Structure 1
Amino acid sequence: MPSSSPETVGVEEEFLLLDPGTLVNLPVAEAVRKSLPEDVREQSRPEFRQSMLEMVTPVCTGLDEVREQLLRLRRAAARAAVENGARLVAVGATPVAEPERTVPDDPRFRAILDHYGPVVDDPAVCGCHVHVGVPDRELAVRVCNHLRPWLPVVQALTVNSPFHAGRDTGHASWRAMQLDRWPALGPSPWFASAGDFDRTVELLVASGVMLDESLVLWHARPSARYPTVEVRVADVCPSVDDAVLLAGLVRALVATALADIAAGRTGPAVSDLALRAAHWNAAHQGLDGTLLDPRDGRARPAWDLVDELADTVTAALVDFGDLAVVRRQLARIRRDGTGANRQRRAFARTGDLGSALIAG
């Protein structure tokens, strides 16, 4: 999704392919991809687990276009899954089990398996990644500094994986807890420049923490392939509405950061430890109760921080024409809850995990 403008946005969604009866992961991704119409297949990508399907929107300039593309891709992927005996599910972590955990026959995937060993055996997890166009890589690195204190709030809004092994894990995002086993994931460090970023990556590759420079998997990063900032903190969103909200907020955060940089303001030097604690808190609780504000270390009511985030990016939302959409979707989540809330509520009502995943 090449782009160089802060108005542009693209979304990558990872989905699970489940057995409709048992809800066990099915390793049929390649067959599903082959069943997609050719124009949709071009927007799909193979993933590390053969029970996962990634769909990638084209570069979009507005949230209406994002919505249209997400609907088109989800509908086509769901049809192709049914044709191959599977059910496409937008949930952040394997809800029951993944008996077949071999990686696709790809040299890159095999190298990761050899390097990281049993960590790679974890069952599939699915995220939603948002790309926002930026003018150059130096700015992309600096934008990531500005995003750091807000990404725990974004994470709390998008938690969507409370179930694993057929039961409630007690965490709103089991995906986030599972990914903590991997090195070089988690909050982006604060970097003084693109050169500082490159030197740090070189150090991590030399140590073996990263297999190579492509395994920069922080919550926000300059994309390795596109002239964008990529935000990777969210679980895959249960609905298109949730994904549109995520795209709108992330684009507005990036635009706000660019405006701050142009005005000579630097990103806050938030403690790495405080930031990790804030992300754990967000993944554990979602929007239930309090979130840690990493800027001052205080626990605050979760919706107070959501409201502050919305206020911070209001000018950008107005510029993009997104204010009404984002406000409407935030009001919906305040009323109906996050994906994790909705899954738990449906499961409590029916006792059926399959129904809970549909309700997510």
Structure 2
Amino acid sequence: MTTAVRSRGARAHPAVAAHAAPVPALTMGVEEEFLLLDPETGRVVPGADVVRGRVRGSIAARLVPELTRFQVESNSEVHTDLDRLGDDLLELRRVAASAAAASGLGLVACGTALSGNVGIPPLSRSPRYHDIAREFRAVIRGQGVCGCHVHIGMDDHEEAVQVSNHTRPWLPVLLALTVNSPIADELDTGYASWRTMLIGRWPSAEPPPFFHSFGHYESLVSGLRASGAIMDRGMVYWLVRISDHVPTLEFRTADVCATVEETVLLAALVRALAATAVLDVRAGIAAPQIDQTLLRAAFWRAARDGMDGHGLDLLTGSRVPAWRLVRRLIDRVRPSLAASGDLRTVTAALDSIRRVGSGAARQRAAYARRGHLPDVARLLIEQTVAAPARRAL
């Protein structure tokens, strides 16, 4: 593996070069959140109960409620193979979209509502969500945003927090690649990911701190509980966290991706970052102690510019074109991508984003043609169920 990587002119990752350790084969699962809207107006519609009620069979249990009644969440199976993950995600999207269409609605992968989400949203029936609304007051206004969460199988909590530390400098790059929420309340916000700005209202929604140990992680969670900043462990909204219900490290950085192809790209990069970090941890390589203030600044920059501007290189402290940071990320994880067989898929997906633009850029292009929100809605509906090029019908 190392020889093949070097033949491409890339420098092997130090843990691979020095220790020749096998890249760990990590499992992955994906949660995607979607909006339901009126295809004629682009306005969100609280039809989640009706839509979910139309779904039959085993897949019904994997389409679950979210915070609001105009959202639906899908949960993939656990996978090791990218193609199978993509097939699973596409089936979930198509089943949910079919149920939505039968209800006169459109299912869209979009980080924010184009229209109709001003004020307190219509909440799902869960008493927990209503308790959250009472406790956190106006923070709930305009919420109902949609993200994509990638779970990487990891049951050693001590190792998981160290993996989180190693991945921190690269998390804003993942956001920049997946930006998909430029429009909210019928306005172009000027941000490629307005969802990132909205979720930042929650007191625990921030990049993961640098954890000195799992004990340190737990002490911070306890402090959040004691302050009332979270009501339960499910409200630990760090952008990387240890899952409270499955044995995984959960990456919560991204907007819901516009297409399955982009979701698969995200999952591949997250898994490669985690695998590379595992090698570092096991080789005794220390994680860079990136300052939390600068990490937040890098997320702000990624949310503002996406792939159409600049990002903050947290390892050098300089502002550079976003695509340069992507190249550095690929250099960082290339051995892991090669070992898992994912490099070709990742390269093709990145070439596609370069060619057609990010999800945010495509929304803006659709809106710019006539200044007509239904044009954006139609684009989102079509993209949500589009098959990746390699398996297009």
Among 153, 158, 164, the alignment partner of 2:178 is: 158
Q: How many residues align?
A: 356
Match of 1:327 in 2: 347
Match of 1:198 in 2: 218
Q: How much does 1:339 deviate?
A: 0.3
**1:70 lines up with 2:121 in the alignment:** no
Q: Judge conservation of contact 1:253–1:313 (CA < 8 Å) in 2.
A: yes
3-state SS of paired residue (2:339): helix
**1:144 lines up with 2:164 in the alignment:** yes
**1:258 lines up with 2:305 in the alignment:** no
User: Which residue identity lines up with residue 164 of structure 1 in the other structure?
Assistant: A
Match of 2:68 in 1: 49
Q: Deviations over 1:53-94 (max 9, x none)?
A: 001100011100111001100000000001122110110001
Q: Judge conservation of contact 2:25–2:340 (CA < 8 Å) in 1.
A: no
Match of 1:112 in 2: 132
Relative to the length of structure 2, the TM-score reads: 0.88
3-state SS of paired residue (1:218): coil
Structure 1 outlier segments of 4+, above 6 Å = none
Identity of aligned residues (%): 46
Kindly tell me: are residues 319 and 358 of structure 1, through their superposed partners in 2, closer, same or farther at Cα, counting changes over 3 Å?
Answer: farther
Q: Deviations over 1:1-48 (max 9, x none)?
A: xxxx85211111100000122221111111111111222111111111
Report matched runs for 1:345-356 at 5 Å. 345-356=365-376
Kindly tell me: are residues 166 and 289 of structure 1, through their superposed partners in 2, closer, same or farther at Cα, counting changes over 3 Å?
Answer: same
**1:183 lines up with 2:203 in the alignment:** yes
Match of 2:53 in 1: 34
Among 97, 119, 132, the alignment partner of 2:152 is: 132
Q: Deviations over 1:205-224 (max 9, x none)?
A: 11111122221111111111
3-state SS of paired residue (1:182): coil
Match of 2:322 in 1: 302
Which consecutive unaligned segments of at least 5 residues does structure 1 have? none
**1:85 lines up with 2:113 in the alignment:** no
User: Which residue identity lines up with residue 140 of structure 2 in the other structure?
Assistant: V
Which consecutive unaligned segments of at least 5 residues does structure 2 have? 1-23, 381-393
Match of 2:8 in 1: none
Shifted more, 15-24 versus 274-283: the winner is 15-24
Relative to the length of structure 1, the TM-score reads: 0.96
**1:268 lines up with 2:282 in the alignment:** no
Counterpart-to-counterpart distance in 1, 2:166 and 2:286: 7
Q: How much does 1:179 deviate?
A: 1.0
Match of 2:79 in 1: 60
Among 294, 305, 312, the alignment partner of 1:285 is: 305
3-state SS of paired residue (1:17): strand
Query: Alignment RMSD, CA only?
Result: 1.4
Q: Judge conservation of contact 1:202–1:213 (CA < 8 Å) in 2.
A: no
Counterpart-to-counterpart distance in 2, 1:192 and 1:96: 43
Q: Judge conservation of contact 1:97–1:123 (CA < 8 Å) in 2.
A: no
Report matched runs for 1:328-343 at 5 Å. 328-343=348-363
